[in-house]
Amino acid sequence: MSHTNEQPSPEPVDYLQAGRYIDSDNPGVIAFAHRHRVGSEPGIEAATRLYLAVRDGISYNPYLVGPDPRHFRASDCLATGSGFCIPKAALLAACARAIGIPARVGYADVRNHLSSKRLDELIGGNVYTWHSYTDLYLEGKWVKATPAFDKALCERVGVPVLEFDGRNDSLLQRFNAAGERHMEYVRQRGVFADIPYSRIIAAFEANHPRWLHNRNNLDDEVFESCTESGKESV
């Protein structure tokens, strides 16, 4: 697996502020985070509850992709109740920050050995650039969490549900339930305090242009019909 030369800040405190995309100051995000936390102090139990809330409360949709920033922003992902890996990772990071847990987002290129023919044709192969996970600072160390694939989806396609215990990295499933090779990490892109939107869009334009533009603004009805208040019960 190749690596980039990203030099993230070593200070956890630098990953508590709201960002443009990890908008942890959004009222809907704050309400969602506090509804799923436990106790009065941030910690592993709160982080794992937030992980499950984002993993299963927000459905994974690899087709809800587009160049508009709303396809990437945490609060928009919460409002629609659906998203692909990048906004779901941003939402988990935003929820963690909202209750005082330092959080950032990390990226890697991954190969999906079991993706459908339809999705392969849309992506332009089975390698997805800039797949995202969340990096949470818990008990003095950074731990990776990947809330992308919801439990219902995993059960439907025969892939083990990806768990997160707050102490060990939780990365995409290497094999499905039948033992077939599933996800493979092929390149690390680094970690960031907020979504590097311009870099991701440039990479998608170069590697996945059909995927990036497949919606042709058909998402307008989805985004305009959903509000944060309407999704508060997720």
User: What pLDDT does 221 receive?
Assistant: 52
- Which residues are CB-neighbours of 69 under 8 A, at least 6 positions away? 20, 21, 197
What is the rounded CA–CA span in Å between residue 146 and residue 8? 19
User: Measuring CA to CA, how many Å separate 197 from each of 63, 66, 190, 203?
Assistant: 18, 12, 14, 10
User: What pLDDT does 224 receive?
Assistant: 52
- Which residues are CB-neighbours of 1 under 8 A, at least 6 positions away? 185, 186, 187, 188
> Could you report the average pLDDT of every consecutive run of 10 residues in the chain (234 residues)?
59 97 98 85 90 97 93 97 97 97 96 83 93 97 96 90 95 77 88 98 96 67 44 30
pLDDT digits (tens, 9 = 90+) for 166-208: 999 998 877 677 777 778 889 999 999 999 999 999 999 999 9
Q: Catalogue all structural domains in the chain, each as residue range(s) with its CATH number.
A: 12-220 (3.10.620.30)
This prediction has a pTM of 0.89
Strands 103-112 and 82-83: what pairing?
Answer: unpaired
Tokens representing 112?
A: 């999906």
Strand residues in 38-182 grouped as ranges (E): 59-60, 82-83, 103-112, 127-138, 141-145
User: What pLDDT does 220 receive?
Assistant: 53
**Is 27 in a helix, a strand, or coil?**
helix
Q: Tokens 């928009």 appear where? A: 76
What is the rounded CA–CA span in Å between residue 21 and residue 115? 28
Q: Are 22 and 90 a contacting pair, CB within 8 Å?
A: yes
User: What pLDDT does 6 receive?
Assistant: 56
User: What pLDDT does 178 receive?
Assistant: 73
